[in-house]
DNA sequence: CGGTTCCATGGAATCGGTTCCATGAACTCG
DNA sequence: CGAGTTCATGGAACCGATTCCATGGAACCG
């Protein structure tokens, strides 16, 4: 079963393949006559240009690679959906690649994307920029970092401001009288993990709160590490009165442990989650979270790729992140009367 | 910046392109000598075969299309992740396509996938099988349906048994003394929506429960339609004592309304959700759900595509679905003492 | 030692588009 | 009316891999 080629269309229209090609790709040097005949013939035969053949000749594809950690994480799912929809608007197809937080699999996928000669790669990078990633950059394939960056690697990126949200969260908790705040930090191999931890440490210092190293646990952005961290925090001789988690999955892990232990969120223990995942809004009590905007990140990443492809100067974007106060944060137990956080000063 | 071609490798190794190609694709007619020289040269130059050129010549690609409704739905995210990982194991790249429950966008994507000459298409189909879908099938591109099917379209598929879960759920609720069970049904344009509704009606009849038409609301598999349905059900003169929703997003919508209205899940109103989404387990009380296995569905869909590609006979798979009883279902209010559902019997 | 077989090899054709270049018809203008 | 210009057109080259086919050297056998 051979597919319809441009030669078939040309024959049907009674013109040469060259003319058929010109008509179908909108080249101006075509007569009204051939335009109608070719268009008609293409429609009749159901002609679909072979993307491989076209790419081979023109040396550019209508495909981009989207290399994320895991689409089962709602944060990345949001990025993926919006990137893909935005790409489709420009007729660009999206190759989905889940690296699963594994540098080996990231390299495997980068190789595959290079073989596919994708027009650009959007990646939430893993590791230190060694391996295939360095090679991709020297090859000149347009790359845009999304969510994360890598130190010393100069690539346009779309990230969230990882500091402001954490700073606001600590200020909010300090205002509620909390002195011992636990942090379930992200892996220090990622820029987001590092920046959020650093912002936390700085905010703790600024507010003069306990900076007990036992209050900080390094997780891996997965549910189980959040649960493990929560257990360790709660088992401390002096447990924290508030907990902050550095991504949505670890937040889920924390909440799971609190439920198992019968600890009431918001009153017994204040919790600040990360990412304004829809599921958090259905949680009871509704979660106070650090919110950012994965949907815009996905769309913007595609924009940046297209700008680089068009030869426009590369730019990076840092999106706002902010604290959304809901019901999971309350006054520190035993802290006495504290002014309402939303009250004056 | 020109990429390394097989001619560069051949020159570096001091052989012809033909020999280089044979070595690199494992053709037996090669000498030990050229094998080492070519392999070495390819490694030195960082040669990556151009997938376009290869596909053009061999007339088959290492790419499949994955055409789903929306990866932000955790059910589809699970399918997407597992399909993609399973495809990667065979060196197959996955094009992600979200149709957003729109037949037009599905057609748009099918056209794009045909242009890309994908080796196969995994699709959770929309609509009645008219439009591009019919054309794709006549063209002979391997297609596998996942999750949903289309009546009268004979295509291998991986689906869940939509009846058994619903049947078990109604039996469970009937055993708890519920007589008025509300259903938030899925759209009747989808096979899953139809089958789940039909199974519900049949189970209601078998158990002799109220089959008041007001107890069934048609939703669209989105959160807001679940919320709308819940409001309408609760506003009935005689509201149901239990509610069953036909997918996870509509389940979320129902839960949202119950929280707003201060209705306690499990005691005031029993709720059975659909899909064993992780978020349901972190919900309090833990949700009783109809569970099936999107992860296996994704992996199996890729297997079926590969079997068709290998010329093996097309087969379809129906996966089990089952009721997982947790805490969101309890005895019907005012139904008197009822034997515990897990008790002897 | 001559003829046959075996086998690695390179040249060239091929896949399906795009694009350079030469051609010839139509048209313009002095 | 002739020279110059414009413009649509088709032939052919090309992109980078694979593969058919012819070739020649080595091995083998009678």
pLDDT by residue (tens digit) across A120-146? 999 999 888 888 999 999 999 999 999
Closest CA to the C1' of D14: that residue is: A57
pLDDT of residue B283: 82
**Is B43 part of the contact surface with chain A (CB cutoff 8 Å)?**
no
Closest chain B CA to residue A77: B72
Q: From the CA of B299, how many Å to the C1' of D5?
A: 64
pLDDT of residue A283: 82
User: Residue A283: which of B55, B117, B283 has the nearest Cβ?
Assistant: B283
pLDDT by residue (tens digit) across A220-260? 999 999 999 999 999 999 999 999 999 999 999 999 999 99
- B252 with A278: Cβ contact below 8 A: yes
Find chain A residues with C-beta within 8 A of B227's C-beta: none
Rounded to a whole number of angstroms, the distance from the CA of B319 to the nearest CA of chain A is: 21
Name the nucleotide nearest A22; use CA and C1': C18
- A52 with B117: Cβ contact below 8 A: yes
pLDDT of residue B23: 96
pLDDT of residue A129: 85
Closest CA to the C1' of D6: that residue is: A29
Task: State what percent of residues in chain A have pLDDT above 70.
Answer: 97
pLDDT of residue A336: 54
Contacts of B304 (CB under 8 A, 6+ apart): B144, B156, B157, B158, B314, B315, B316, B317
Q: From the CA of A130, how many Å to the C1' of C14?
A: 40
Mean pLDDT of chain B: 94
Query: What is the C-alpha to C-alpha distance for residues B28 and B21, in angstroms, rounded to an integer?
Result: 11
**Residue A330 binned pLDDT confidence (cut-offs 50, 70, 90):** very high
pTM surpassing 0.85?
A: yes
- A93 with B116: Cβ contact below 8 A: yes
Give the A:B interface size as CB pairs under 8 Å.
Answer: 149
- A283 with B278: Cβ contact below 8 A: no
Give bridge partners of residue B324 from the DSSP assignment.
Answer: B289
pLDDT by residue (tens digit) across B56-85? 999 999 999 999 999 999 999 999 999 999
pLDDT of residue A2: 81
pLDDT by residue (tens digit) across B129-145? 888 999 999 999 999 99
pLDDT by residue (tens digit) across B294-330? 999 999 999 999 999 999 999 999 999 999 999 999 9
Mean pLDDT of chain A: 94
Cα-only R_g, chain A: 26
**Residue B29 binned pLDDT confidence (cut-offs 50, 70, 90):** confident
**Residue B282 binned pLDDT confidence (cut-offs 50, 70, 90):** confident
Closest CA to the C1' of C13: that residue is: B57
pLDDT of residue B2: 81
E strand intervals along A256-310: 270-274, 288-291
Task: Enumerate residues near strand D (beta carbon within 7 A).
Answer: A 14-19, 22, 28-31, 33-34, 53, 56-57, 59; B 2-3, 5-7, 17-18, 21-22, 24-25, 27, 47-50, 53-54, 56-58
Cα B306 vs. chain centroid, distance in angstroms? 18
Closest CA to the C1' of C16: that residue is: A53
Is the per-residue pLDDT at A186 higher than 90?
yes
**Is B48 part of the contact surface with chain A (CB cutoff 8 Å)?**
yes
Is the per-residue pLDDT at B340 higher than 80?
no
Find chain A residues with C-beta within 8 A of B85's C-beta: 98, 100
Q: Give me the DSSP letters along B248-310.
A: HHHHHHHHHHHHHTTPPBTTTBEEEEES--HHHHHSSSPPEEEE--HHHHHHHHHHHHHHHHT
Q: Which structure tokens are listed for A100? A: 């699963």
Q: Give me the DSSP letters along B141-194.
A: --EEEES---TT----EEEE-HHHHHHHHHHHHHHTT---EEEEEPPTTSHHHH
Give the residue from A51, A59, A65, A220 showing the smallest Cα distance to A132: A65
Closest chain B CA to residue A106: B88
pLDDT by residue (tens digit) across A256-309? 999 999 999 999 999 999 999 988 877 888 999 999 999 999 999 999 999 999
Answer whether any strand C atom is within 7 A of the Cβ of A259: no
**Residue B335 binned pLDDT confidence (cut-offs 50, 70, 90):** low
Task: State what percent of residues in chain B have pLDDT above 90.
Answer: 91
Give bridge partners of residue B269 from the DSSP assignment.
Answer: B265
Is the per-residue pLDDT at A344 higher than 80?
no
Which of A77, A227, A264 to substitute to test the interface with B, most B CBs within 10 Å?
A77
Backbone angles phi, psi at A180, to 5 degrees: -110, 105
pLDDT of residue B336: 54
């Amino acid at each position: 079963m051979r597919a319809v080629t441009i030669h078939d269309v040309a024959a049907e229209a009674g013109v040469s393949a060259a003319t058929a090609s010109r008509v179908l790709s909108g080249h101006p040097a075509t007569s009204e006559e051939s335009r109608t005949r070719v268009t008609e013939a293409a429609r009749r035969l159901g002609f679909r240009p072979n993307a491989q053949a076209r790419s081979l000749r023109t040396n550019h594809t209508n495909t981009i690679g989207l290399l994320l950690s895991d689409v089962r994480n709602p944060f990345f799912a949001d990025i993926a959906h919006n990137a893909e929809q935005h790409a489709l608007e420009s007729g660009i197809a999206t190759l989905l690649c889940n690296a699963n937080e594994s540098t080996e699999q990231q390299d495997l996928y980068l190789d595959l994307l290079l073989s596919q000669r994708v027009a650009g790669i959007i990646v939430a990078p893993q590791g230190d920029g060694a391996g295939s990633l360095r090679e991709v950059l020297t090859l000149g394939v347009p790359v845009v970092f999304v969510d994360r960056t890598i130190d010393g690697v100069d690539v346009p990126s779309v990230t969230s401001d990882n500091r402001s949200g954490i700073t606001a969260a600590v200020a909010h908790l300090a205002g509620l009288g909390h002195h011992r705040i636990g942090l379930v930090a992200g892996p220090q191999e990622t820029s987001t993990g590092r920046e959020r931890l650093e912002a936390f440490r700085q905010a703790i210092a600024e507010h003069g709160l306990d900076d007990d190293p036992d209050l900080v646990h390094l997780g891996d952005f997965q549910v189980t590490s959040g649960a493990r961290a929560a257990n360790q925090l709660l088992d401390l001789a002096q447990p924290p009165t508030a907990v902050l988690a550095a991504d949505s999955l670890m937040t889920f892990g924390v909440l799971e442990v609190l439920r198992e232990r019968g600890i009431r969120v918001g009153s017994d223990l204040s919790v600040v989650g990360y990412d304004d995942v829809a599921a958090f809004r259905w949680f009871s009590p509704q979660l106070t979270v650090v919110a950012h905007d994965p949907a815009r990140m996905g769309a913007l990443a595609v924009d940046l790729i297209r700008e680089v492809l068009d030869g426009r100067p590369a730019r990076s974007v840092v999106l706002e992140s902010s604290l959304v106060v809901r019901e999971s944060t309350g006054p520190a137990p035993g802290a006495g009367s504290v002014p309402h956080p939303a009250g004056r000063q």
